[in-house]
Structure 1
């Protein structure tokens, strides 16, 4: 009982400290005072890759010498509301997550949205006219509050049981764990991390979350006070976590808070190689490894036009991001794709 009480006190203290962390201001969207021009290339969508795309955009734009050349910009997933993505564009509801970004891409033309950031690959419901262009490698594990009741490792079967609400208390997993009620969280509907995780724990068939699952948290934001309770767990991008913890890429609400990332199936080395500060080699070889993408309308990306050539010159195989973006990709915790950066996948 004393051990459990100590855990709860630790989590409570960490939760209290979040008020200061969450009070900061996150860097978001094009720089203040900058409105992308009609000719510029603008993206929306995934929370997981938004910070990386912000940095890649800044570095790509800094490399240009022609003031008339199209610049690259990326709008973040939050805050809620409408955005006018570029000069003359139709205002749209800010897309929050991969699915919402892909929907916005397909509901608009290049006058409003040029690409969608996606932390998932194509699914059967995506139009076959969408090109998923590979950017980098990530992995998804789960996270829980330091000092809480969650163990260091859960199996795939454990996670499936938890998220279908078949198992609701920790001691049902291991008798040595507390007999407290598990509080499973998922990112918002439309999150690529959510859909990828549910498919991974289902062995390739997406799991339908049970009634005990709370889907009200923003992905990869450990600052949410709902997660600062002893029995919480939530899926988390390993790369995003590495960027937050080891490279100072988080700010405002975009921080790990009291969460620490945990292992799945006892993978040797775990999700994070803490020495080299990268995704663990063994974990990167499991079904929890994924590629992150930028998504385009095929008619735009493969067009025999100057704009099509520009898109391919930035995002395609041999393009700027694949040849000049390696340092940025690593500094945000992702792994460069030794082979396949810029390659196209469709549904």
Structure 2
């Protein structure tokens, strides 16, 4: 049975300003010339949370005074190819997305990968040997080109019709919209944002099977993709990632919003983004489109039958009362996510 999920959807009361991030600028992947040691905690997976984990890891590592203490490192979802996650590990295909990260976690031991970043919670197909450890709150909306044919708001039913290809023209949604063909996009199979979005528009039970008109070739949360520079394109988007890109300069290179603006679902008052305070709108976060993001660990590493110093250190970083939950709030906010008012570091199982 899943535990704590309902509680985790409650968000913290937020100040009207974002705290300054300590510890400097995060880097993508371990810094050039740095190979994580066998004792370090190394993660892979979600595109949505990779920049946040890079910053949290940078700041946590900077807080350590002992050269022998395990550090935290996080490998980005792209570019494609292979990586050697830590010293002594065999090379693996770089995991792109939550599902790929979870698969890599379960296909290897902690000699290679210690955790998977995940922008979705557990699903029925996940192994029962994993713990999903809560980190922060996000939400998913959809985005479209500024000045294009897409309206400011679509309903859940509209989105389901679009992604099943039942509705293919804008004027089928509203006669005042153009007689133009809608071009729905999704991230690759295995993306947590894809899985979450398809489940949310399908009533929240199981993920919708996309229709033949849907293109699944874009990298999640990259509005710079030339395929999305189209007046008829629509694509799901992490609200936190969008806020980080637009308001706090967290994107760079291809990881920017490009010509896209984020759009509303079901006419939620205030929309997905509280533009005054530059945070996820709490009204929107409390809908079925609000989600918790996680780090996933093997149960045997998180709390082994015979507990170890390594397991205790792991929980002391990621767990309830751990470093990320008590010292990472400024980082979490600065990347557009909402701190959990309770439940950070708590475990959800499938």
Normalised to the residue count of structure 2, the TM-score between the two structures is 0.91
1:167 paired with 2:139, answer no
Matched-pair contact (CA < 8 Å) for 2:27–2:55: no
Q: Which residue number in structure 2 is paired with residue 16 of structure 1?
A: none
State how far apart, in whole Å, the 1-side matches of 2:247 and 2:345 are. Answer: 27
CA shift for structure 1 position 28: 1.8
Q: Which residue number in structure 2 is paired with residue 264 of structure 1?
A: 265
> Which protein has the bigger helix share?
1
Q: Which residue number in structure 2 is paired with residue 107 of structure 1?
A: 107
State how far apart, in whole Å, the 2-side matches of 1:281 and 1:140 are. Answer: 13
Q: Which residue number in structure 2 is paired with residue 14 of structure 1?
A: none
Q: Which residue number in structure 2 is paired with residue 254 of structure 1?
A: 255
1:273 paired with 2:268, answer no
- Aligned counterpart for 2:342 among listed residues 330, 334, 339: 339
Q: Which runs of 4+ in 1 moved over 2 A?
A: none
String of CA shifts for 1:288-342, please: whole Å, max 9, x gaps.
0000000000000112101100110000000000000000000000000010000
- Aligned counterpart for 1:319 among listed residues 319, 322, 347: 322
How many residues are matched? 322
Q: Which residue number in structure 2 is paired with residue 123 of structure 1?
A: 123
String of CA shifts for 1:135-167, please: whole Å, max 9, x gaps.
000000000000100000000000000000000
State how far apart, in whole Å, the 2-side matches of 1:284 and 1:44 are. Answer: 26
- What RMSD over aligned residues (CA atoms) do the two structures have, in Å? 0.8
State how far apart, in whole Å, the 2-side matches of 1:296 and 1:246 are. Answer: 32
Matched-pair contact (CA < 8 Å) for 1:27–1:251: no
CA shift for structure 1 position 27: 4.7
Normalised to the residue count of structure 1, the TM-score between the two structures is 0.92
State how far apart, in whole Å, the 2-side matches of 1:290 and 1:128 are. Answer: 21
Q: Which residue number in structure 2 is paired with residue 13 of structure 1?
A: none
Q: Any unmatched runs of 5+ in structure 1?
A: 1-25
Q: Any unmatched runs of 5+ in structure 2?
A: 1-25
State how far apart, in whole Å, the 1-side matches of 2:190 and 2:233 are. Answer: 21
CA shift for structure 1 position 188: 0.6
1:306 paired with 2:274, answer no
Q: Which residue number in structure 1 is paired with residue 36 of structure 2?
A: 36
